[in-house]
Amino acid sequence: MLSSLELDSLLFFDIETVPVSSSYDELDEEMQELFDIKTAYQRKDGQTASEFYERAGIWAEFGKVVCISVGYFTYKNGDRQFRVKSFAGEERVLLEEFSNLVEGYFRDPSRMLCGHNIKEFDIPFVVRRMLINGVKIPNKLCMFGKKPWEVNHLDTMELWKIGDYKNFTSLKLLTRILDIPSPKDDIDGSEVAKVYYEDNNIDRIIVYCEKDVVAVAQVLLRFKREELLSFEEILSV
């Protein structure tokens, strides 16, 4: 599986998102009304929009990106290394930094973006937030007008589906069944907003995000039947 794929042609990435404000009450009246409408069918019976607001980070209209972590393979003198880097902080700035990286170092058509569920979540979310923030969208993130084979995105969840489009498999489950050390040893996605707004601990979110990037790389190594990364091969830059 994927035997001809060159690992050093991939840019692995993952994002972490939170609601655009710390609470529903901080939204202006119009945005509260729009959130009420947007979430009407998702809320359980009797659940108010305010109570549901903790999940606002899954929608680009009501959420924002607080961290983007990337990773890539390098090979030198026969030695393999996986380098990890993160962009965090003010949203517009981190989106610009990510855009510059993709446009500068990974714009070549032979290079691909890789992640877990990036086609349905990460890429659409990032592009929408770039539009909202007035950030230039890298060509590699643009899908309008492209033929399917011109879209350079490799999604490990799509690879695992093997054509079964009813199937959703989390990264945590995939690493478990493939016998890969779990990246989920601290927080999970539902806790990111609390860590960001209440604990004010962006460093903890960065660590969490980078572990997901490493986990996706490990999954792809399993798919290619190659040896997993050792701790010594992973370098934060």
Q: Taking the domains of the chain in order of start, what are their residue ranges?
A: 7-20+62-236
Q: In the predicted model, is pLDDT for residue 102 greater than 60?
A: yes
Does position 184 have pLDDT exceeding 60, yes or no? no
User: What number of other Cβ atoms are within 10 A of residue 34's Cβ?
Assistant: 15
Closest CA to 111 of 159, 68, 158, 153: 153
Q: How many other C-beta atoms can be found within 10 angstroms of the C-beta atom of residue 208?
A: 23
| Look-up of token digits 């969208």 | 137
| Confidence category of residue 149, pLDDT binned at 50, 70, 90 | low
Instruction: Give the fold, CATH level 3, of 7-20+62-236.
Output: Nucleotidyltransferase; domain 5 (3.30.420)
Amino acid code (one letter) for 118: I
Q: What percent of the chain has pLDDT over 70?
A: 96
Confidence (pLDDT) at 232 = 93
* pLDDT tens, position by position, 68-79: 999 999 998 889
What was the pLDDT predicted at 71?
97
Residue 108 has pLDDT above 60, yes or no: yes
pLDDT above 90: residue 122:
yes
